[in-house]
Amino acid sequence: MSERPPISPRSPRAALEPEQVPPPPKRSDRARNPFVIVGNAIITILIIAMIGAGTAYYYGRQTLEAPGPLQEDKVVNIPARAGKRDIADVLSREGVINVNPWIFIGSVFALKASSDLKPGEYSFQKNASLRDVIATIVEGKVVQHAITIPEGLTSEQIVARLSDNDIFTGSVHEIPREGTLLPETYKFPRGTTRDQVIQRMQQAQKRVLAEIWDRRSQDVPLKTPDQLVTLASIVEKETGRADERSRVAAVFVNRLRQKMKLQSDPTIIYGLVGGKGTLGRPIKRSEINQPSPYNTYVIDGLPPGPIANPGRASLEATANPARTRDLFFVADGTGGHAFTETYDQHAKNVAKLRTMEKQIQNDTVEPADDPPPPAAAPAPAAADTNPTAATPPKPANQKKPPRGRQGAAQQTATPPVVQR
């Protein structure tokens, strides 16, 4: 039986008081070492930083990868010299992003793209994420605008089209030489200068012309690439049908071989209005024989230069014309032309065309309920205009018959040897 320690008697007051807790043990000298304290603080800070970095990485990645607010593809223009904050404001205003500008700037830094943001017009896809938006701007793949220059326009007309197009900037300092621009469909980013557009068209024309000239038929009576462009420009203005270009070219080539005048209406028009391109009315009789360096009813051979900018197809057709002996062509009433070797057969085709035109004119005239009052007598100048139904006289020189006219100037009293 164990012995219990004796109980020392205490006063009632002492019994009610709590027992004193023994003092804590003193910290060792090692624990109070300042290096240990600093080390513990560093470890604590590192742990907190790692947790913060992990959290930031997780939420940052979620922000970068989350689908954006765009409901459909959208084109947005990032202006030149725009800073990161400016870009963020533009994107936010256009609804491309819906994050705080500082988050956008932080994302740019995180992706190491701070110095790679490029101005321009960009197409952002539907629901593009913040990462996709930044990548699009960094890659610099700006929107390319297609512009089509039709065949047969003069250089002045082409410059006018470029001036009216608001995707280009600057002005054309000098109208390019006729025939030096290649009609084609080109793509340019917004902000391209008009001089740069002209330079690209000139470079394309030089490249295409060199290729076609090297592949030309060796018996074509053209001595230089410039002569090829000049004749091709006439072919371009004579017909718009692809299946007729080589045959129209053959007519002119055959006439050059036989030392016959080309007698092409578009050359008369160009001699009258130059780069304006269109006359706006029928050619008058007096203008057929009006002296002009470009009027092929007056001059022999080719005019001094092109009358328009021909396309690739007309250049190729002129360099390799059809193997025919045709010297004449006239409109057939169906949108095409009838080609012949002799003037007699050509005259029959012209008479046939006149009959068709007269029939169409009669069919389109409807009788009025009340007859109109008599027309006023024509002014003396009207006699200078070529009537559509004029009967052409026989040519004086059957060996070199006048080739006649075509196109807008087909109303002529000259034998219409080549006419649309």
> Which letter does DSSP use for residue 385 in this model?
B
Q: Is the confidence at residue 2, as pLDDT, over 60?
A: no
Q: Which helix (H) or strand (E) holds 67?
A: none
Q: Is the confidence at residue 373, as pLDDT, over 80?
A: no
Better pLDDT: 100 or 413: 100
What value does the mean pLDDT take over residues 6-20?
A: 64
Backbone conformation region of residue 112, classed left if phi is above 0, alpha if psi is from -120 to 50, else beta: left
What the block records as the tokens of 181 is: 């621009």
Residue 32 lies in a domain: no
Residues 323 and 226 in one domain: yes
What the block records as the tokens of 205 is: 């024309």
- The contacts of residue 172 (CB under 8 Å, 6+ apart) are 159, 162, 163, 194, 195, 198
pLDDT digits (tens, 9 = 90+) for 107-132: 898 898 888 899 999 999 999 999 99
- Count of all residues that appear for the chain in the document: 420
Q: Is the confidence at residue 142, as pLDDT, over 80?
A: yes
Q: Which domain covers residue 74, as residue numbers? A: 41-142
CA–CA separation, 166 and 141 (whole Å): 20
CA–CA separation, 202 and 186 (whole Å): 12
What value does the mean pLDDT take over residues 75-101?
A: 92
Better pLDDT: 361 or 205: 205
Residue 22 lies in a domain: no
Residues 402 and 286 in one domain: yes
Q: Is the confidence at residue 51, as pLDDT, over 90?
A: no
Residues 256 and 399 in one domain: yes
- The contacts of residue 375 (CB under 8 Å, 6+ apart) are none
Using alpha carbons, select from 246, 239, 234, 235 the residue that is nearest to residue 335: 239
278 with 210: CB under 8 angstroms? Answer: no
Residues 411 and 287 in one domain: yes
Residues 151 and 100 in one domain: no
Residues 168 and 202 in one domain: yes
Residues 190 and 314 in one domain: no
pLDDT > 90 fraction of the chain, expressed in percent and rounded: 60
Cα first-last separation, the chain: 143
| Strands 337-340 and 418-419, sheet pairing | unpaired
Among the candidates 177, 210, 243, a domain finishes at: 210
CA–CA separation, 17 and 105 (whole Å): 67
User: Residue 58: its pLDDT value, please?
Assistant: 56
Side chain identity, residue 140: G
What value does the mean pLDDT take over residues 162-189?
A: 96
Residues 199 and 245 in one domain: no
Q: Which helix (H) or strand (E) holds 76?
A: strand 74-78
Estimate the crossing angle of helix 225-238 against helix 245-257, to 10 degrees. 120
Using alpha carbons, select from 149, 146, 144, 147 the residue that is nearest to residue 312: 149
Residue 372 lies in a domain: no
Better pLDDT: 7 or 342: 342
Q: Which helix (H) or strand (E) holds 11?
A: none
Q: Is the confidence at residue 255, as pLDDT, over 60?
A: yes
What value does the mean pLDDT take over residues 206-215?
A: 97
Name the pLDDT band for 29 (thresholds 50, 70, 90).
low
Residues 169 and 80 in one domain: no
Q: In whole numbers, what is the pLDDT of the chain averaged over residues?
A: 82
Q: How many domains does the chain have?
A: 3
Among the candidates 142, 174, 199, a domain finishes at: 142
- Of 2-6, 38-42, 137-141, 371-375, the range with the lowest mean pLDDT is 371-375
Residues 176 and 101 in one domain: no
CATH classification at residue 75: 3.30.1490.480
Among the candidates 87, 116, 142, a domain finishes at: 142
Beta strands, E only, 102-250: 120-124, 144-148, 185-189
What the block records as the tokens of 187 is: 């793509």
Residues 247 and 204 in one domain: no
CA–CA separation, 118 and 134 (whole Å): 10
pLDDT digits (tens, 9 = 90+) for 332-357: 888 889 999 999 999 999 999 888 88
Residue 15 lies in a domain: no
Name the pLDDT band for 409 (thresholds 50, 70, 90).
very low
Q: Is the confidence at residue 141, as pLDDT, over 80?
A: yes
Q: Is the confidence at residue 330, as pLDDT, over 70?
A: yes
What value does the mean pLDDT take over residues 381-387?
A: 36
CA–CA separation, 64 and 133 (whole Å): 10
| Strands 144-148 and 418-419, sheet pairing | unpaired
User: Residue 9: its pLDDT value, please?
Assistant: 62
pLDDT digits (tens, 9 = 90+) for 273-316: 999 988 989 999 999 999 999 999 999 999 999 999 999 999 99
Half-sphere exposure of 83 (CA within 13 A, CB side): 4
User: Residue 396: its pLDDT value, please?
Assistant: 32
Residues 280 and 294 in one domain: yes
CA–CA separation, 339 and 346 (whole Å): 8
User: Residue 389: its pLDDT value, please?
Assistant: 30
402 with 418: CB under 8 angstroms? Answer: no
152 with 183: CB under 8 angstroms? Answer: yes
User: Residue 313: its pLDDT value, please?
Assistant: 97
Name the pLDDT band for 380 (thresholds 50, 70, 90).
very low
Strand ranges across the sheet with 418-419: 337-340, 328-331, 418-419
What value does the mean pLDDT take over residues 56-63?
A: 65
Cβ-in-10-Å burial (0-12, 13-18, 19+) of 303 comes to buried
> Which letter does DSSP use for residue 328 in this model?
E
Residue 2 lies in a domain: no
